[in-house]
Amino acid sequence: MNQPYRLPPEWAPQQGILLTWPHAHSDWQPLLSEVEPLYVRLTHLISQFERVWITAFDKTHQQHIDALLRKAGIPPDVVTIHCAPSNDSWTRDHGPIGVWDQQGNIHLLDFTFNGWGGKYPADLDNQLTRHLHRQGTFGDLPLESVDIVLEGGAIEVDGRGGLLTTTRCLLSPMRNPDLGCQALEALFCDLFGIKHTLWLEHGHLSGDDTDSHIDILARFCNPSTIAYTACDDPQDEHYHELGEMETELRHFRDADGRPYTLVPLPWPEARFDPSGRRLPATYANFLILNGAVLVPTYGVPQDRQAITILSSCFPEREVIGVDCSTLIRQYGSLHCATMQIPRKAP
């Protein structure tokens, strides 16, 4: 890189949201009839606040999606559908990461995606951003490839030089085995304008296959506030691990040496797939839009409390619940399925 960049926090103004639509060539095949209505609702909600870019697998798939959206009455002028083959639908991890240069212009960084450390096929996903860029999906925004494995769900920034992540993910030997903490911190400085990195040693959800992405555990709501997944059930397998994570969060400090305000999120009732595997249900996987926050819900009593708590964290945004009971059947949730493209720095 010939100049340092800055990674905008998610609450910075956005141009739009990227979605990779589930398709029959992926693990979604047996669940398509259940998950597609969620994607239609998600598209409808996002389109009320900003543009939506959708990636279809091929032309036939594109026509299918277009028909679904038209039937739902979603205005076509706020949605663009492009074609690029994909392995899966987790746009947060295979989509581009938008950064500001020193003049405040947007650059898109395309990191290597290897299926969360080689757990799943990812060759198509790893090429998807470049396919979209060649088609003009992102207009004249420049795209730069970065030969480092990094998923968007693995990092959170506070907008004041702090980056929050987990050692379990970023120091996984299946991602960048030659890069330790210091090397990664130097890269974060150049690529994202980071002054200090906050490393969580603890934090894990059963059913998660990302090696503890930060976006299922702890999220910045503003430069001084972190909402985090908390477990209040001593009999639950997560109680000790998430308690240790909470202790770590309490010791973190911002760029001025001040502790962050911590907001515990409710612990949803356990959800399981038909085989009995516990699913990684979490309210931390919310999506911030220009005028709203979309909160994943799971059809459990704690949903309403989570919406109330996050409404207090985002008083100037409309907070909307989105049923993600089907989405977590593939071990991800709302934030995992989306990626924002920021606007030019204000």
- What order do you get walking across the sheet with 156-157 strand by strand? 156-157, 162-166, 196-200
- Give the closest residue to 95 by CA, choosing from 42, 141, 64: 141
How many domains does one find in the chain? Answer: 1
Predicted pLDDT at 3: 58
Taking residues 310-318, what's their average pLDDT?
98
**Encoded tokens for 99:** 């950064």
Do residues 228 and 218 lie in contact, with contact meaning Cβ atoms separated by under 8 Å?
A: yes
Read off the pTM.
Answer: 0.97
The answer to whether position 226 is within a domain reads: yes
Residue 89 is classified by DSSP as: -
Give, as one character, the DSSP assignment of residue 1: -
Whether residue 270 lies inside any domain: the answer is yes
The C-alpha torsion from 44 through 47 and 51 to 53, rounded to 10°, is: 0
CATH of the domain at 193: 3.75.10.10
- pLDDT, mean over the chain: 97
Per residue in 175-193, pLDDT (tens digit) is 999 999 999 999 999 999 9
Single-letter residue type at 145: S
The C-alpha atoms of residue 333 and residue 166 are separated, in whole angstroms, by 18
Query: Cβ atoms within 10 A of the Cβ of 75, count?
Result: 11
Residue 322: inside a domain: yes
Strand pairing class (79-83; 196-200)? unpaired
pLDDT score recorded for residue 2: 52
Q: Is 252 within the bounds of a domain?
A: yes
Over residues 99-155, the pLDDT tens digits come to: 999 999 999 999 999 999 999 999 999 999 999 999 999 999 999 999 999 999 999
Write down the pLDDT at residue 294: 98
Query: In this structure, what token pair is assigned to residue 227?
Result: 């909402």
Q: How many CB atoms lie within 10 A of CB 263?
A: 17
Strands (E), the chain: 14-20, 51-56, 79-83, 97-100, 106-112, 143-149, 156-157, 162-166, 196-200, 218-222, 225-229, 261-265, 287-288, 292-297, 318-323, 338-342
- On whether residue 116 sits in a domain, the answer given is yes
pLDDT digits (tens, 9 = 90+) for 239-272: 999 999 999 999 999 999 999 999 999 999 999 9
Written as six digits, the tokens of 321 are 């619940």
Q: Binning pLDDT at 50, 70 and 90, where does residue 1 land?
A: very low
Domain that holds residue 223: 14-341
Q: What is the percentage of the chain residues whose pLDDT exceeds 90?
A: 98
Condensed to tens digits (0 to 9), the pLDDT of residues 51-73 reads 999 999 999 999 999 999 999 99
